[in-house]
């Protein structure tokens, strides 16, 4: 009698019964609406973002961990388990939900005015409005403190100029949270330039959002630029409570948390697919699953999958606890879980032989997607240095 990896691990002893039931609801919805299409969307290099956002809004996953404004107010663990199911289908799908809920909606929810929250959060939770988050620029990625996008005052209005790069969903967004430096003096450095967030409807004159083409990874996701050419905004467009890098970094903590859970889904899906395939594929008159080397690969992947699942559960519990989770703990989860999930998907892909390089089977698609996940939301190296700093007390990011 065979058992699934989750049965052997006894995930029902790791997570609460009702949380796993919720994960089952998300999984069923994805099986019904997405799973059969994902390979084609990936090959086509796109995703029906608007249609999907409305479906995901109805399912209740957009901004589900936020309170009020028609958001579900779920626990961090429940949100993590939803990310796990989404990324079991494709990292691009989890990206759609991460950017909407953890980056754009969270920024407005945490740092916005009451009017901004009332205007945007209910329609974003329902998936009627799509949001994006513009921090990275063509010349500034890992070091957002060096951003060049500027917000200057003209009377009571703000004028935004600059460019953002690699922005998930910018070409299909209705609203953007854009981070720019103002002329204010930074109290810490004594220099001019304080990072502020702005809520910018994408139909504002001067905004353009060309799509990034020719991606090899995260193909079932729309990525774009944001070009801001003398974009005039009312004073009320600024997020009033965010000042300094803490604004965007707090949102990044939320989205990185979703990744810690999400990638365990990509690993689980790769393992389940490999178990199914090796059970039915016959070589030398025996199923592939009967060879010792196949079982070694499966066992190694299972061990690693178990470890990252337990890490995600631990970080979820910390986030749900009264004390909360610290940024370096999220860095630990992002660094270890993404790298491990990528290695699991890559190693298992070999078990499929030639079939493994087609869109018919998921492990290579997951592995290639995870190259992006390793890079965005803080590169693997940024998280290594964050942990290095937490352990040694020495900042090795710069001189
Ligand atoms: P530092 O100057 O020390 O800190 C600035 C202020 O921020 C606070 N802070 C945090 N707050 C909340 N959460 C965090 N994770 C935080 N990290 C720092 C910090 O306490 C300080 O507050 P205050 O009150 O003292 O001013 O900056 P740092 O040295 O900590 O940061 C340096 C570094 C390199 C770690 C940071 O710049 C960084 O994380 N860089 C990576 C940039 C990045 O991750 N970009 C991601 C862009 S968005 C994206 O990729 C979306 S992909 C979406 C998808 O499709 O799923
Ligand atoms: P760089 O910062 O130039 O880094 C290049 C290499 O140098 C990396 O290996 C890095 O680790 C290394 N490096 C940099 N500094 C150091 C150092 N001090 N020590 C050691 N090594 C270092 N951004 C957004 O704002 N919003 C989005 O929605 C978004 N979506 C994305 C979607 C996709 C598909 C991709 C690929 C990216 C997305 N990003 C988004 C951007 C992403 O966050 C950046 O690509 C990432 O932060 C790295 O920045 P960079 O590409 O400029 O690389």
Using CA atoms, how far apart are residues 11 and 295, in angstroms rounded to an integer? Answer: 22
pTM: 0.98
Q: Which atom of ligand 2 is nearest to the CA of 379?
A: 11
What average pLDDT score do residues 16-32 get?
Answer: 98
Q: Which atom of ligand 2 is nearest to the CA of 217?
A: 34
- Quote the tokens at residue 313: 């559960």
ipTM of the complex: 0.98
**Cα 327–Cα 332–Cα 336 angle in degrees, nearest 5:** 150
- Quote the tokens at residue 156: 């009571």
In angstroms and rounded to an integer, the radius of gyration of the C-alpha atoms of the chain is 21
85 has pLDDT over 90: yes
Cβ–ligand 2 distance for 88 under 6 Å, the answer no
pLDDT at 189 (0 to 100): 85
Distance of CA 219 to the CA centre of its chain: 14
Q: In which region does residue 265 sit, left (phi positive, over 0), alpha (psi from -120 to 50) or beta (all else)? A: alpha
**Is 115 a residue of the active site?**
no
DSSP 8-class letter at 361? S
Nearest Cα to Cα of residue 131 among 163, 108, 99 = 99
Per the DSSP assignment, residues forming a β-bridge with 226 are 164
CA atoms within 13 A on the CB side of 43: 10
Residue entry with tokens 């001067």: 206
What residue's CA is closest to ligand 2, atom 11? 381
pLDDT at 264 (0 to 100): 98
pLDDT at 188 (0 to 100): 84
Using CA atoms, how far apart are residues 20 and 7, in angstroms rounded to an integer? Answer: 13
């Amino acid at each position: 009698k065979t058992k699934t990896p989750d049965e052997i691990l006894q995930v029902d002893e790791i997570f609460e019964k009702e949380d796993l039931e919720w994960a089952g609801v998300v999984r069923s919805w994805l099986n019904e609406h997405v799973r059969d299409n994902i390979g084609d969307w990936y090959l086509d290099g796109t995703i029906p973002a608007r249609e999907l956002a409305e479906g995901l809004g109805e399912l209740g996953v957009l901004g589900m961990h936020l309170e009020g404004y028609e958001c579900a107010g779920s626990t961090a663990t429940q949100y993590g388990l939803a990310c796990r199911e989404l990324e079991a289908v494709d990292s691009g799908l989890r990206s759609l939900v991460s950017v909407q809920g953890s980056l754009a909606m969270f920024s407005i929810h945490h740092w916005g005015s009451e009017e901004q929250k009332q205007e945007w959060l209910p329609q974003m939770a329902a998936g009627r409005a799509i949001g994006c988050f513009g921090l990275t620029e063509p010349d500034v990625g890992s070091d957002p403190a060096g951003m060049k996008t500027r917000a200057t005052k003209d009377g009571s209005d703000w004028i935004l100029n600059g460019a953002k790069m690699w922005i998930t969903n910018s070409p299909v967004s209705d609203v953007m949270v854009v981070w720019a430096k103002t002329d204010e003096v930074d109290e810490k450095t004594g220099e001019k330039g304080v990072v502020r967030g702005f809520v910018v409807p994408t139909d504002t004159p001067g905004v353009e959002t060309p799509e990034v083409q020719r991606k090899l990874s995260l193909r079932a996701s729309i990525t774009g630029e944001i070009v801001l050419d003398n974009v005039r905004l009312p004073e009320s467009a600024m997020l009033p409570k965010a000042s300094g890098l803490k604004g965007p970094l707090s949102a990044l903590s939320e989205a990185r948390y979703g990744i810690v859970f999400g990638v365990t889904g990509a690993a689980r899906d790769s393992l389940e697919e490999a178990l199914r395939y090796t059970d039915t594929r016959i070589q030398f008159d025996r199923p592939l699953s009967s060879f010792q080397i196949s079982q070694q690969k499966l066992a190694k992947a299972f061990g690693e999958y178990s470890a990252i699942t337990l890490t995600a559960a631990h970080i979820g519990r910390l986030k749900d606890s009264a004390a909360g989770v610290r940024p370096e703990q999220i860095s630990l989860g992002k660094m270890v879980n993404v790298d491990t999930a990528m290695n699991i998907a890559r190693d298992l892909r070999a078990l499929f032989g030639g079939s493994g390089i087609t869109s018919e089977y998921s492990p290579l698609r997951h592995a290639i997607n995870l190259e992006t996940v390793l890079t965005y939301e803080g590169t693997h190296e940024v998280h290594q240095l964050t942990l290095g700093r937490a352990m040694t007390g020495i900042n090795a990011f710069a001189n």
